[in-house]
Homo-oligomer: A and B are copies of this chain.
């Protein structure tokens, strides 16, 4: 029963060590290379993806009374895949039926199964990349990395934290209490891990796997059954995931309904029914703050872990690499057309400009520098497509349209190729800090504001205050003044937002690496949890004891 655990034990050990030390480590190679994944892996993955299209998705023995599925690739055509559909109570009942055997499985059994699932998902990374690409609009390279290996790393991280948390309490101990000259009292104590119950994972459209795997694997590894409710526009990546989990569960003799897919149709979502079901005891949610607020208020006694939305800011105070800074910002603004929860929206620049290695730059110089760097980055349409991908949700295009009038146009948004209806390069607007109605609202997508502030310190104060009030997942600072950098660290720490300082070259504020960067702090309105820390896993199970006298 522990063969899977034994097979993957060294991966787990490395993951535990990495999570402890928090240097760079990854279990699943991020390079979509034939040398790593096999020379035919890329073609095979595409073929597997294509074979999924225009037919029902096969999930043996999955409950379902109907079929749903209306996914359309942001790059073009409808996927034409249908998935089994059930109402919430049917799914919850099936989950509860599957629960007892999973609850009493050993930590090694559950951990082994989770690690085997992750390994198989890794082998499917090319197929998953295509699935992610054609549901989210991510360009292929990003869909591969973020949807495949990076998501798998985040899943492994959750499994490792769960394993550490479960095993830190011994399964048994002998308790010997001295009684002076009388005989000691001796008790044999046993502790058992008891999962909370049914766990619900609510996915988002833009990162269906990366954002769902932590909660999914944390709940599975701690003995809970899981119902995954994908965004109706991005079901396929999670359907493949659930399919693999069910396959391994069945092979190991478990009821595959330990992992269920709650596919639904736009406008007829079953999310609220699932959230309000009393048997659902854990909810992982990624999505808008408005629905997140509803989930938090209507979850009853369920433990709720959210990643919601915020407004991410960058403060430009000074730099000794003006070109490198502009190039770095350009990439951060353009990557996946600003549809990352980590993408910056506001760039605070002193009205009087900044000191740089290229001499003093006025506010307009900085704004133009960033705009020019975006133009450079996206000059070649093929490269632009590889950076920006496509727009996942047409509403984002409407948002760009409306945003144009909110400030001075510094750089206009445009399709990558004339006539594209689902691509959009960054819109960059200049505003004054007091135009808070413009820049202090989250405007999801490729929309950025260069915000004029009194000076660098004012920018730090305003950005930190905004993070504290509206939430933020990332913040960045460009500065050369050590004292001001320390003040910024204090301000952003107090606002609960992770800060990147003076990034240039091939590392970006948007990027959050498993085993090192805690994604979301849980300390401001952008989310109430962090991927992955002890608090993310420790309350997914409880410890129950039995004790009895033992002969001394």
Contact = CB atoms under 8 A, between A and B. Distances in A.
A493 interface: yes
A546 B501 contact: yes
Query: For the complex, would chain A's binding face be called helix, strand, loop or mixed by DSSP majority?
Result: mixed
Contact of A516 (B189, B494, B507): B189
A378 to B, nearest CB: 23
Given A194-B523, A499-B547, A168 B20 contact: yes
A441 B22 CA distance: 51
Contacts of A196: 523
Interface residues of A, number: 69
A513 interface: yes
Contacts of A535: 535, 538-539
Interface string A513-531: 1001110011100001010
A372 interface: no
B544 A492 contact: yes
A501 B548 contact: yes
A489 B104 CA distance: 12
Contact of A499 (B21, B498, B545): B545
- How many copies of this kind of chain does the complex include? 2
Contacts of A490: 104
A546 B176 CA distance: 47
A535 B507 CA distance: 34
A529 to B, nearest CB: 9
A490 B190 CA distance: 12
Contacts of A187: 507
Contacts of A489: 190, 192, 546
A552 to B, nearest CB: 11
A19 to B, nearest CB: 9
B500 A547 contact: yes
Contacts of A194: 493-494, 496, 521, 523
A472 to B, nearest CB: 11
A506 B182 CA distance: 11
Given A20-B170, A497-B544, 12 more contacts: A23-B176, A24-B175, A103-B494, A169-B533, A173-B516, A182-B506, A192-B489, A192-B493, A194-B523, A498-B545, A500-B547, A538-B538
Identify the 9 closest CB pairs spanning chains A and B, nearest first: A501-B548, A523-B542, A535-B538, A535-B539, A499-B546, A534-B538, A22-B173, A498-B545, A493-B544
